Amino acid sequence: MNDEFEFSESSPSTFDIKAFLYKTLSYWKLFILCIGIGLFIVYQQNIRTQQSYKLGTQISIEDDNNPLFSANTSLTFNWGGVSGKVKTIITTLQSRSHHEKVVDNLQFYITYLKQARFRKDDIYKAAPFTFTLLPNTSQVLNVPVRISIVNDTTFEIGLDFENTIVNTQNFTNKEKSTTDVSIGPFKQRFKFGDPIILPFLNGTIHFKKDRKIVSGDEYFITFQNYDAVVGKYKDKLWVDNPANSSILNLEMTDVNTGKIEDYLNETVRVLSEDQLNRKNQFVTNTITFIDEQLERVKSQLTLNADSLNNYRQNNKIFNLDEESLQINEKLAKFEIEKDNTNRQLAYYSNLKTYLETSNSFTDVPAPSIAGVNDANILGNVSKLNALSVQKSKYETTVRSDAAIFGDIDRQTEGLKAVLLENISSASNGLRREMEFINSKIASIDSKIRKLPKDQQNMLNIERQYALSEQTYNVFLAKRGEAEIIKSASVSDVLVIDPAKDTGAQPIDLKLSSRYIFAIIGGFLPPLLLAFLVAFFDTKLHSPHNLEQISRIPLLGVIGKNESDNNLVVHNKPKSTIAESFRSIRSSLQFMYRTKGKEGSKTIVVTSSVSGEGKTFCSINLATVFALSGKKTVLVGLDLRKPKIFGDFKLNNDLGVVNYLIGQNTLDEVINLSIIDNLDIITSGPIPPNPSELLIGEPMDTLINELKTRYDYIILDTPPVALVADALELFEYADASMYVVRQDYTKKAMLNFINDKYKKKELSNISFLYNHYDQKGKYGYGHGYGYATYGNGPYGNGYHDNYKPKPSLKERVKGLFKI
């Protein structure tokens, strides 16, 4: 057998709930401290944090067709239908470009603040003044500008610069730059309404007429990065489409309800305006085209009118005869038809070129302005324009590689192919009609040539004037029609419930509720600490722990030794520890009687490791037997680390080692002690081969000789978890005492002895639970009643160091005693 052997500390063990609870209670001061800290932190947060609120608005996406639309009103552009429109509007609401318009309109990059006790509150419209930016000027970013009211007409601007360079931004073109400043405070006075022109601040402050000026009041304004503000509000806006219906719920959270209300309502207004503009884009493009044509035709009409008047005056011809008038009316009719046909052919030619060369079709004018009434062309141009508008919207809100663009492009190419076929067919029909009209005009021209020369010229000039006038009136009528349609159009966004503060409640946790969570949070750290300590704790803390992890019987519990000497039974025979050893002596004697053991008895005392009180128990166990009148010998067999000689003030130069090597006789190594009936055999000098000495024949001889002289032989052996010497000595034992120590012995150290006991390699072994402290690490173990182990009330007035356990009332009073 080797001198040294290993043991494992990874033995399975159950979590001790009782130990955990007692450990938790032992941290009561830490609980009070953590709860106090939690309440203090919550209090500080409550007085420093501005509450948040949530408001909402509800809109409906409708398919509102123009009420003036009819089959003959070809200018109307209806790209409606709620299918897909809701998703498009949701995407628009989540787009950056949309929020840029809203932030620009509301100027939310300017924040108005007022100093509260521990924070600056966003007061928004409650500020008694407004700051108007000067166009194309820069403002300092993220530096509070203090506005101090001096009197009814004057205020003072103050800033504290911490660096020589500050960031600025021009909110007109959104360009950012830096400006040099002087470190430290800056102050300057201005009049209300006068321009403020500084390198880092440019604008005008106007006091609101309905507000009262209070001298000494201080306010703050801050300018925030435009892009950061847009991003913040973009993230704050929450859009919900319940059950994929046409209803949209918009919600926003902020610290100022006025800001939420204005932002939501402005968001809906901008959305509605954009939707209406997109809806009217076809009509708007048409009006623009008509205006260009009207300007051109108006010039031609004026020129023709001047020519007609000049000819009449110069040639003194003011009226045509009846025949000339009839010829002129017929010719004018065909000229108008020819002009309309040419206008339609020109439109088809331009439309064909436009379709073949352009990628965007949002600028296509209405076909009806050219007199085109073909239903297929009218419908397909409207559809093409609608697809182009839809694609234009998606380009600002959707990724360029999205599948929606491919779908729109396929639909567009299909419509273009159909339109080109329609144009070819319609153009061929118009050319045939033009040939017929030209033949009629040629026939009439032959008649005109028979008239006098001056009549021919007069007819020609009047015909040009009538044609220009007719064209001008057609365009003017079309423009009026387009204006009526545009003015009658309504947005597809219907506001059901505008945003309004009707007494919004803070959505943050209520102040009183926060304190509850602070108390709960204060419990958690000590609770977690107690759990971790109990979970990872590998030591024994009570006899109950010992009984849970081992089947070896517990013979006795020994109290905590407060003295400096191990001779407790001898020095303090009335102490609770002495009574504990007497109880152990009684238990051993009872065990011997039960087993019929007569004559000399050998008791082996060992432990797992050094420091568990093995020698202390050996000395006092030997003492208690000697005091009962039994001839007792205490043999120090811990040859590597001898101890017992010091307590008895003996010399260790001669001992059991000398006997085992045959150097001295037994009588020569036996020492008398200060205690009657107790002899001591010390270990002697440390040998080079302790294990071999203890397993040799001299050891058998020693034990046999001692049995002839003594009633009790107490063997103080080495720790079994460090060396194997003690295992060899168990064969001499009539009873083996295995010492464990409270708050010191690790549970895994007992694996080895438990295994030996389980395999029945050891018998007559019992535990001695040493250093027991009822108020120890976990403060429990009351199940091991005082009477059993000599710690209890029956000894009141008998034990010299017994103190009665205080009552619960007394302990509570002690906690609050000042």
C-alpha to C-alpha distances, 656 to 330, 611, 634, 660, 722, nearest whole angstrom: 154, 22, 11, 6, 21
Q: Are 695 and 764 in the same domain?
A: yes
Separation between Cα atoms, residue 691 and residue 3, nearest integer Å: 7
Say what the pLDDT of residue 8 is. Answer: 40
**Pairing mode, strands 765-772 and 554-559:** parallel
Q: Are 528 and 546 in the same domain?
A: no
Q: Are 560 and 589 in the same domain?
A: yes
Separation between Cα atoms, residue 272 and residue 266, nearest integer Å: 10
Separation between Cα atoms, residue 505 and residue 510, nearest integer Å: 10
C-alpha to C-alpha distances, 111 to 128, 189, 210, 253, nearest whole angstrom: 13, 21, 20, 16
Residue in this structure with the two tokens 């005009």, named with its chain if needed: 441
Which of 470, 51, 77, 89 has the alpha carbon at shortest distance from 248? 89
Q: Is 44 exposed, middle or buried (0-12, 13-18, 19+ CB in 10 A)?
A: exposed
94 in any annotated domain = no
Q: Are 562 and 659 in the same domain?
A: yes
Residue 117 main-chain phi, psi, to 5 deg: -65, -45
Residue in this structure with the two tokens 């950012």, named with its chain if needed: 176
Separation between Cα atoms, residue 436 and residue 430, nearest integer Å: 10
Q: Is 375 helix (H, G, I), strand (E, B) or coil?
A: helix
Q: Are 403 and 523 in the same domain?
A: no
Quote the DSSP letter at residue 539.
B
Quote the DSSP letter at residue 203.
E
Q: Are 449 and 585 in the same domain?
A: no
Say what the pLDDT of residue 766 is. Answer: 93
The maximal CA–CA distance of the chain, rounded, in angstroms, is: 177
b/e per residue 344-377 (b: at least 16 CB within 10 A) = bbebbeebbeebeeeeebbebbbbbbbbbebeeb
Residue 596's region, left for phi above 0, alpha for psi from -120 to 50, else beta, is left
Q: Are 731 and 650 in contact (CB under 8 A)?
A: no
Separation between Cα atoms, residue 102 and residue 118, nearest integer Å: 31
783's tokens = 């199940």
Give the chain's length.
Answer: 818
Say what the pLDDT of residue 71 is. Answer: 38
Q: Are 520 and 543 in the same domain?
A: no
Instruction: Order the strands of the 632-636 sheet from edge to edge.
Output: 554-559, 765-772, 735-741, 601-607, 712-716, 632-636, 678-681, 671-672
Which CATH number covers residue 757?
3.40.50.300
Say what the pLDDT of residue 386 is. Answer: 72
426 in any annotated domain = yes
Separation between Cα atoms, residue 220 and residue 20, nearest integer Å: 55
146-188: pLDDT as tens digits: 999 999 899 999 999 999 999 999 999 999 999 999 999 999 9
Separation between Cα atoms, residue 289 and residue 645, nearest integer Å: 122
182's tokens = 């002087």
Structurally, the chain folds into a number of domains equal to 3
85 in any annotated domain = no
699 in any annotated domain = yes
Say what the pLDDT of residue 581 is. Answer: 93
Which of 225, 450, 469, 435 has the alpha carbon at shortest distance from 332? 469
Residue in this structure with the two tokens 């601040």, named with its chain if needed: 201
C-alpha angle 659/663/669, rounded to 5°?
Answer: 45
Q: Are 353 and 390 in the same domain?
A: yes
Tell how far CA 420 is from the center of its chain: 57
b/e per residue 3-22 (b: at least 16 CB within 10 A) = eeeebeeeeeeeebeebbeb
Q: Is 249 helix (H, G, I), strand (E, B) or coil?
A: strand
Say what the pLDDT of residue 672 is. Answer: 92
Residue in this structure with the two tokens 């000789």, named with its chain if needed: 705
End-to-end Cα distance, the chain? 63
Q: Is 255 exposed, middle or buried (0-12, 13-18, 19+ CB in 10 A)?
A: middle
Say what the pLDDT of residue 113 is. Answer: 93
Q: Are 721 and 744 in contact (CB under 8 A)?
A: no
Residue 119 main-chain phi, psi, to 5 deg: -155, 170
Q: Are 73 and 559 in contact (CB under 8 A)?
A: no
425 in any annotated domain = yes
Domain that holds residue 687: 538-815
**Pairing mode, strands 601-607 and 735-741:** parallel
**Pairing mode, strands 154-161 and 184-191:** antiparallel
Residue in this structure with the two tokens 């100027």, named with its chain if needed: 107
Bridge partner list, 158:
146, 187
253 in any annotated domain = no
211's tokens = 């507000």
pTM as predicted: 0.52
Q: Are 512 and 551 in the same domain?
A: no
Q: Are 259 and 236 in contact (CB under 8 A)?
A: no
Q: Are 711 and 686 in the same domain?
A: yes
Q: Which segments of the chain have a pLDDT < 70?
A: 1-16, 46, 48, 63-84, 279, 281-282, 304, 306, 308-309, 311-332, 359-371, 373, 389, 392-402, 444-460, 462-463, 467, 485-488, 508-512, 722-726, 775-818
Q: Are 516 and 375 in the same domain?
A: no
C-alpha angle 531/536/542, rounded to 5°?
Answer: 85
Q: Are 718 and 606 in contact (CB under 8 A)?
A: yes
Q: Are 671 and 567 in the same domain?
A: yes
67 in any annotated domain = no
Say what the pLDDT of residue 298 is. Answer: 77
Quote the DSSP letter at residue 610.
T
Say what the pLDDT of residue 14 is. Answer: 58
Of 498, 519, 535, the domain-final residue = 535
Sign of CA dihedral 330, 331, 336, 342: positive
Bridge partner list, 497:
58
490's tokens = 């309504």
650's tokens = 């003996």
Separation between Cα atoms, residue 614 and residue 738, nearest integer Å: 8
154 in any annotated domain = no
CA-only gyration radius of the chain, Å: 54
